[in-house]
Each structure stands twice: as C-alpha cells, then as structure tokens.
Amino acid sequence: MKEKLSIVKIGGNVIGDPTQLTDLLQLFSQIQGHKILVHGGGKKATELNKKLGIETKMTNGRRITDSDSLDVAIMVYGGLVNKKMVAQLQGFGVNAIGMSGADGDAIKAHKRPVKEVDFGWVGDVEGVNSENVLKLLKSGFTPIFCALTHDGKGQLFNTNADTIAAEIAIGMSDDFDTTLFYCFEKKGVLQDITNADSVIQHIDSKNYQTLLNEGIIADGMLPKMHNCFHALQNHVKQVCIGDQTMLQEGSTNFTTLTL
C-alpha cells in the first residue's frame, strides 16, 4: 500500500491577498502525511517590474521573459514569495524548505523552442528528480517549490507553476498515491462563469470533451485543464480544482477530475 502525497499549487490572486494566503497556509499545514506546495508569483513580479521600470511583455496571456524579467522572477519567486511562505509555514509547525528546480537538481528543463513567439527564458520541463525529492520527504521536510527550473548547465528558467505541479505529481506517483490540488480564487470549474456557485463537481475524460465543445471550459481554464488530464494520464490518482476551502477535512464543494 503506497503512502499518500498531497501536492498543492496556489495561484497569483491567493498569493496577492495576505489574509487568503495565511488561511491557505494554515489549511495546508493541517494536511496529514507527506505534502508539497507549488507557487508562482507573476503578479508580484509584474509589480516589481513596474517599480524598476521594466516592461512586462505578454502574448496571449503568457509572459515573455527577457533577461531583466528573469532576474526579477528569480528575486520574487525564489526569494520574496518563497521565503515568506516558508517562514509562515514554520510558524504553523511545518518543517518547510524553499526550493527551485535547481535546488537538489529537482526539476530540469530546456529553453522553450522559438516557433511563432520567442518566450525568452521560459523553460519547458524535461523531468523531475523524484529520488532527491523523495529524500527530502522521507527526512521530514515539506518542499515549497517556486516557478523556476534549470538546465543543469547554469541557466535558470521561468516556468509555468501549474505545469511544475503536474510534473512533480507525475514524478512522485511511482512512490506515492498522489493527489494534486489546484487552488485558485474560484470554487471550482463553473458551469456558468457568472454564477460563482455553479461548480461542476466531477469531470472525467468524456464530459470534459462535452464541456470543451460547449465552450464552458475556455480561455484561461484550458491550459490548467490540459495539465490536469496530462497528470491523470500519467498515473496521478486524482486532481482537484477549487478555492482553499477544498483543503478542509470533509469539504465537497470543488471540482474533482478523474480519467
């Protein structure tokens, strides 16, 4: 019987709201068994870019990372956001350890190939060093991963945090029964975007296709759902999407995804 592992990814709107973030970290601290937290910090990076006079470049909702923007991402994700979370979690009794993909050679990536758009220093994940992550978990540490990876040759990359969470979940699924939680500001995947309570409680491959065809799943939810099903197709046991209340014991008001 495999041990359970919970992987929780938190979104930018949660990170930007100190009260919400504290609530989430407190709920995360109460999760039993092994756990990993994954975070981005794009909104904070945009704020610092503005203060430093660095233009934030986006295309189709995706960030382009030039050298200056990468330095800001390293400072914000790996420093400011990560260390504050680690300190808060230590206050909640979690032996948290801050991680980028370069720490412990945890997550390797390569620079995204240039097609229609040059995304700059954005990394596409090649694989997770599950052996080293397992050593941390078995030693009683709770890894807190930021959205940075590396190529093993000295180069860091800005990498999508949803993707990192999915790849860590996949990488650890040989050793654990892994559940992946995507925490964001909505209660789940909504049937009606204008009705915050119209949560679709269960999505499998079949009704996922129907929801796509009907345009209910669209826009920013598309890449998130792609990561969800990519994880499920690669032996992750279950994926859940919702706000932080889904981390509470006995909570049911969120979206669960299975194959």
Question: What pLDDT sits at residue 105?
Answer: 98
Nearest CA to 158 out of 75, 240, 90 is that of 75
Q: Is 41 annotated as a binding residue?
A: yes
Q: How far apart are CA 66 and CA 39, in angstroms?
A: 21
DSSP notation for 100-137? -SSGGG-EEEEEPPPSSS--BSBEEEEEE-HHHHHHHH
Residue 62 has pLDDT above 90, yes or no: no
What whole-number percentage of the chain has pLDDT above 70?
100
**Phi, psi dihedrals of residue 247, rounded to the nearest 5°:** -80, -10
Question: What pLDDT sits at residue 34?
Answer: 98
Under the banding of pLDDT at 50, 70 and 90, the label for residue 250 is confident
pLDDT tens, residue by residue, 161-214: 999 999 999 999 999 999 999 999 999 999 998 999 999 999 999 999 999 999
Question: What pLDDT sits at residue 168?
Answer: 98
Work out the mean pLDDT of the chain and round it to a whole number.
Answer: 95
CATH number of 193's domain:
3.40.1160.10
The residues near 14 (Cβ < 8 Å, ≥ 6 apart) are: 20, 21, 24, 183, 184, 185, 244
The DSSP element (H or E) to which 184 belongs, if any, is none
How confident is the model over 19-23, as a mean pLDDT?
A: 95
Task: Answer whether 14's CB lies under 8 Å from 183's CB.
Answer: yes
Residue 61 has pLDDT above 80, yes or no: no
Coil, strand or helix at 118: coil
Q: What amino acid occupies position 206?
A: K
Tally the domains of the chain: 1
Q: What amino acid occupies position 255?
A: T
What six digits make up the tokens of 204? 């499998």
Residue with tokens 């019987």: 1
Residue 219 has pLDDT above 90, yes or no: no
Question: What pLDDT sits at residue 220?
Answer: 82
What is the span of the domain harbouring residue 143? 3-257
Under the banding of pLDDT at 50, 70 and 90, the label for residue 248 is very high
How confident is the model over 136-144, as a mean pLDDT?
A: 98
Question: What pLDDT sits at residue 33?
Answer: 96
Question: What pLDDT sits at residue 97?
Answer: 98
Question: What pLDDT sits at residue 59?
Answer: 85
The DSSP element (H or E) to which 120 belongs, if any, is none
Under the banding of pLDDT at 50, 70 and 90, the label for residue 12 is confident
Q: What amino acid occupies position 34?
A: H
Q: Is 242 annotated as a binding residue?
A: no
Q: How far apart are CA 123 and CA 131, in angstroms?
A: 21
Q: What is the pTM of this model?
A: 0.96
Question: What pLDDT sits at residue 72?
Answer: 97
Nearest CA to 227 out of 157, 158, 180 is that of 180
Nearest CA to 173 out of 35, 2, 10 is that of 2
How confident is the model over 27-47, as a mean pLDDT?
A: 96
Residue with tokens 């992550």: 133
What six digits make up the tokens of 116? 């229609």
Q: Is 63 annotated as a binding residue?
A: yes
How confident is the model over 145-162, as a mean pLDDT?
A: 97
**Phi, psi dihedrals of residue 6, rounded to the nearest 5°:** -105, 125
DSSP state of 215: T
What six digits make up the tokens of 11? 């979104």
